[in-house]
Structure 1
Amino acid sequence: MSTIGIRSVVVGSVLELVLDRPERKNAFTSAMYSKLTEELNQAAQRKEIATVLIHGEGGNFSSGNDLKDFLETPPSGTDAPVFHFLTAIATFPKPIVCAVEGFAVGIGTTMLLPADIAYAADTARFQLPFINLGLVPEGGSSLLLPRLAGSKAAHEMLLFGEPFDAHAALQYGLINQIVEQSKLLEFARQRAQLLATKPRAAVLEAKALLKKSSEPELLNHMRVEGEAFIKRLRSPETTAAIQGFFARK
């Protein structure tokens, strides 16, 4: 099934959610966030689904927010579709595997943090350009990234907003493994299917235990980030930065 830039298909016990907007490097729209949230909420209740695999179409994971859509339907509160999606991925009770190739920009990188397992192609390129647009980090990244990568590396990634490659992402703990691009999707599918064969109740309980101490703190931090993000979005500095982005384009 394909709709509004999201394609979903069930293969065995794995739900594949495909970011399917290749003409825009799978840039997220509000409608895509809403659809992904709906798919995750339904998958959480579907007994036949054991694992979710998220990947992109057309050689990219995601180039982040579609800024045109973002400006036309900006988040006005923490109940906006983007924040519902981030909450859904952070609280999803079953394992989430991500397969990353090409661009993984903004939320294309931050969504890997609350996800459980991520594999990347050797050609993947990551970036957290929030500061460059006059914005602040989202998705719990200002909490989770220092814990994964260390404080100094997190400050450099988030304050400079410069791109980095898959080897740096592996060093920082953003991904589990680097895979040759031509083999990435098949490898991720095999891993997701293998995970789906594990004793399900044990997997669910193990994931719940892994997240138990950190999830309440993460959700609260995501709320604080969201409020700061919305405040920045309304600022003249951010307006000028985004207009400058479109002027350069």
Structure 2
Amino acid sequence: MTLLIDDENRVRTITLNRPDALNAFNEALYDATAEALLAAADDPEVAVVMITGAGRAFSAGQDLGDMQERITNPDFVQGAHGFPGLITALSQFPKPLICAVNGVGLGIGTTILGYADLAFMSSTARLKCPFTSLGVAPEAASSYLLPQLIGRQNAAWLLMSSEWVDATEALRMGLVWRVSEPDELITDARKHAEVLASRPISSLMAVKQTMTEPAKPEIAAATARENAFFEKLMGAAANAEALADFHRGKS
């Protein structure tokens, strides 16, 4: 199973479950996560959703094997939701969303934090947006959401440098709200999730909608800009070289 789902005290925990692939997103995981968010949105017994990862990673981002196949295989089969559907599900999710970053987070494993209402991070975890090292554009409306969340210069470094950011730096930036010791992360995140889940769902949703509604047109516009650049850059020289280096490293 690419996802594990657990319900307790009106908190639904969604655990990305491709630990051997460091929870990298392939089409199946994009689809399963989007479906899980849509189901949680419609479930009257779910007040809060928490996303975390199985094993030592939160998510290693896009599965680069999938990216390579998308470029080279004309018969590549996209998922029913795929990456665009996951981003839509995140941007439209009407209830509190908590991320518990238990290990490395690359790409969407970092940019998903732009959609989190609260983000918790293990003190040993690290985050990276590897877009320039892959020769591609930003994704997931991160070009809009991250400057809003952490300020222009922090976002510029994160999106342009392709360098790791540790938990101390992520907290300083405001990329995450709390840092916990590894064995306390889920307990800490759940404790706060259950405080929220004890409140009326209708009120939680009203608060979230009033906070997020103004950003929705900006998210859509940023996504369109990013997609246009991504289409132009994916498969171009810098991206092809980066993917070739990746595959040489695996062989």
CA distance in 2, matches of 1:76, 1:175: 35
CA distance in 2, matches of 1:227, 1:13: 39
- Aligned pairs for 1:100-119 (under 5 A) are 100-119=101-120
Q: Contact 1:101–1:125 at 8 Å: present in 2 too?
A: no
What 5-or-longer segments of structure 1 have no aligned partner? none
CA distance in 2, matches of 1:10, 1:219: 31
Deviation at residue 212 of structure 1 after TM alignment: 1.7
Aligned to 2:5: 8
The one-letter code sitting in structure 2 at the alignment partner of 1:182 is D
Which of 28, 35, 38 is the aligned partner of 2:35? 38
Deviation at residue 59 of structure 1 after TM alignment: 2.5
Does the residue aligned with 2:120 lie in a helix, a strand or coil? strand
Q: Contact 2:97–2:115 at 8 Å: present in 1 too?
A: no
Deviation at residue 76 of structure 1 after TM alignment: 9.6
Deviation at residue 241 of structure 1 after TM alignment: 1.6
Which of 17, 24, 27 is the aligned partner of 2:14? 17
Q: Contact 2:102–2:121 at 8 Å: present in 1 too?
A: yes
| Runs of 4 or more consecutive aligned structure 1 residues displaced over 3 Å after TM superposition | 73-77
Aligned to 2:150: 149
Aligned to 1:29: 26
Deviations 1:101-151, CA, capped at 9 Å, x for gaps: 220111100001112111001111000111101111101111122222222
Deviation at residue 247 of structure 1 after TM alignment: 1.9
Q: Contact 2:68–2:243 at 8 Å: present in 1 too?
A: no
Aligned to 1:52: 49
Deviations 1:27-50, CA, capped at 9 Å, x for gaps: 111110011111111111111111
Q: Contact 2:138–2:226 at 8 Å: present in 1 too?
A: yes
Deviation at residue 72 of structure 1 after TM alignment: 2.2
The one-letter code sitting in structure 2 at the alignment partner of 1:11 is E
The yes-or-no answer on 1:240 pairing with 2:237 is no
Q: Contact 1:30–1:70 at 8 Å: present in 2 too?
A: no
Deviations 1:140-178, CA, capped at 9 Å, x for gaps: 111122222222222222111100101111111111011
Aligned to 1:62: 59
CA distance in 2, matches of 1:142, 1:97: 21
- Aligned pairs for 1:65-84 (under 5 A) are 65-73=62-70, 81-84=82-85
How many residues are treated as equivalent by the alignment?
245
Could you state the TM-score of these two structures normalised by the residue count of structure 1? Answer: 0.93
Aligned to 1:231: 232
- Aligned pairs for 1:87-98 (under 5 A) are 87-98=88-99
CA distance in 2, matches of 1:237, 1:66: 18
Deviation at residue 89 of structure 1 after TM alignment: 0.7
CA distance in 2, matches of 1:216, 1:44: 20
CA distance in 2, matches of 1:101, 1:16: 13
Deviations 1:21-73, CA, capped at 9 Å, x for gaps: 11111111111001111111111111111110100111221111111123224
Deviation at residue 14 of structure 1 after TM alignment: 1.3
What 5-or-longer segments of structure 2 have no aligned partner? none
Deviations 1:80-106, CA, capped at 9 Å, x for gaps: 601110111111000111100220111
CA distance in 2, matches of 1:40, 1:170: 26
CA distance in 1, matches of 2:69, 2:15: 24
The yes-or-no answer on 1:200 pairing with 2:201 is yes
Percent pairwise identity: 36
Aligned to 2:132: 131
Aligned to 1:172: 173
Q: Contact 1:83–1:226 at 8 Å: present in 2 too?
A: no
Could you state the TM-score of these two structures normalised by the residue count of structure 2? Answer: 0.92
The one-letter code sitting in structure 2 at the alignment partner of 1:97 is I
